[in-house]
Structure 1
Amino acid sequence: MKKKLWGLIALLSLFMMLFASFGNSSSTQAASKTETIKIGYMGSVNSVGLAAIAKQAGYYEKQGLKVKLVEFADGPSVIAAMKSGSIDIGEIGPGAHTQVAQGNAKIVMFDGLSTSDKIIANKKSGISSIKDLKGKKVAVVVGTTSQVILDAALKKAGMTESDVKVVSMSVNSIVNAMVSGKIDAAATWAPGTTKIKEKLGKNAVTLATDNDFTDSMPFTCSWIVTPSYAKKHKATILKFDKAMLQAMNYRESGGKNAAKWIAKQLGFSESDVKKQITSTEKIYTSKQLVKLINNGNLLQYYTKQQKNFIKLGILKDTGKLETAKDYVMTDMIKKAAAAIE
Structure 2
Amino acid sequence: MRTLRLLVASLLLVPLAACGAEDDAGGKTVTFGYTADFAGAATLAAADKLGLWKKAGLKPELKVFTNGPLQIQALGAGSLDFGYIGPGATWLPASGKAKIIAVNMLGQADRIIAAPKSGITDLAGLRGKKIAVPEGTSGDMLLQLALKKAGLTAKDVQRVPMDPSTVVTAFASGQVDAAAIWYPLIDTIKKRTPDLVELSKNADFFPAMSFPSSFVARNEAVKDDPATVSKVIKVLQQAGDWVNGHTAEAETTAAAFLKVPPAQLKGSSAVTKTFTSAELIELSGDGTVNGWFKGLSDIFVAMGKLPSSPDPATYYLSNLYTNAGSK
TM-score (norm 2): 0.86
Indicate the residue corresponding to 2:5 in structure 1: none
Superposed, which structure 2 residues align to 1:272-311 within 5 Å?
272-277=264-269, 279-310=270-301
Q: What is the root-mean-square deviation in Å for CA atoms of aligned residues? A: 2.1
- Of 136-145 and 261-270, deviating more is 261-270
Structure with larger Rg: 1
Residue 237, structure 1, aligned to residue 229, structure 2:
yes
Indicate the residue corresponding to 2:171 in structure 1: 178
Indicate the residue corresponding to 1:216 in structure 2: 208
Superposed, which structure 2 residues align to 1:13-162 within 5 Å?
31=24, 33-162=26-155
Residue 183 of structure 1 deviates from its aligned partner by 2.3
The residue type paired with residue 321 of structure 2 is I
1:326 paired residue among 310, 314, 317: 314
The residue type paired with residue 87 of structure 1 is L
1:189 paired residue among 160, 182, 192: 182
- Of 79-88 and 328-337, deviating more is 79-88
The residue type paired with residue 307 of structure 1 is D
Once residues 153 and 45 of structure 1 are traced to their aligned partners in structure 2, the CA distance between those partners, rounded to angstroms, is 25
Indicate the residue corresponding to 1:167 in structure 2: 160
- Of 135-144 and 151-160, deviating more is 135-144
Residue 32 of structure 1 deviates from its aligned partner by 6.8
Contact 2:30 2:58 in 1 (8 A): yes
Superposed, which structure 2 residues align to 1:232-271 within 5 Å?
232-254=224-246, 257-271=249-263
The residue type paired with residue 218 of structure 2 is T
Once residues 30 and 82 of structure 1 are traced to their aligned partners in structure 2, the CA distance between those partners, rounded to angstroms, is 22
Write out per-residue CA displacement over residues 85-106 of structure 1, whole angstroms, 9 at most, x where no aligned residue.
Answer: 3322111111211122211111
Indicate the residue corresponding to 2:14 in structure 1: none
The residue type paired with residue 309 of structure 1 is F
- Of 32-41 and 151-160, deviating more is 32-41
Q: Which runs of 5+ in 1 are unaligned?
A: 1-27
Indicate the residue corresponding to 1:338 in structure 2: 326
Contact 1:92 1:221 in 2 (8 A): yes
Residue 30 of structure 1 deviates from its aligned partner by 5.8
Contact 1:138 1:167 in 2 (8 A): yes
Contact 2:43 2:243 in 1 (8 A): yes
Q: Flag the structure with higher helix content.
A: 1
Write out per-residue CA displacement over residues 44-76 of structure 1, whole angstroms, 9 at most, x where no aligned residue.
Answer: 211221112112221122212222332323222
TM-score (norm 1): 0.83
Once residues 246 and 303 of structure 1 are traced to their aligned partners in structure 2, the CA distance between those partners, rounded to angstroms, is 26
Write out per-residue CA displacement over residues 156-195 of structure 1, whole angstroms, 9 at most, x where no aligned residue.
Answer: 1111111222121122322122222222222122221222
Structure 1 pair 64–257 and aligned structure 2 pair: CA distance change class (3 A):
farther
Contact 1:76 1:144 in 2 (8 A): no
Once residues 190 and 81 of structure 1 are traced to their aligned partners in structure 2, the CA distance between those partners, rounded to angstroms, is 27
Q: Which runs of 5+ in 2 are unaligned?
A: 1-20
Once residues 238 and 266 of structure 1 are traced to their aligned partners in structure 2, the CA distance between those partners, rounded to angstroms, is 26
Residue 284 of structure 1 deviates from its aligned partner by 0.5
Contact 2:294 2:310 in 1 (8 A): no
Once residues 58 and 188 of structure 2 are traced to their aligned partners in structure 1, the CA distance between those partners, rounded to angstroms, is 35
Write out per-residue CA displacement over residues 295-318 of structure 1, whole angstroms, 9 at most, x where no aligned residue.
Answer: 2222222223323433x3444434
Report SS of the residue matched to 2:326.
helix
1:317 paired residue among 297, 307, 324: 307
Report SS of the residue matched to 2:72.
helix
Report SS of the residue matched to 1:31.
coil
The residue type paired with residue 88 of structure 2 is G
Residue 271 of structure 1 deviates from its aligned partner by 4.2
Once residues 175 and 160 of structure 2 are traced to their aligned partners in structure 1, the CA distance between those partners, rounded to angstroms, is 10
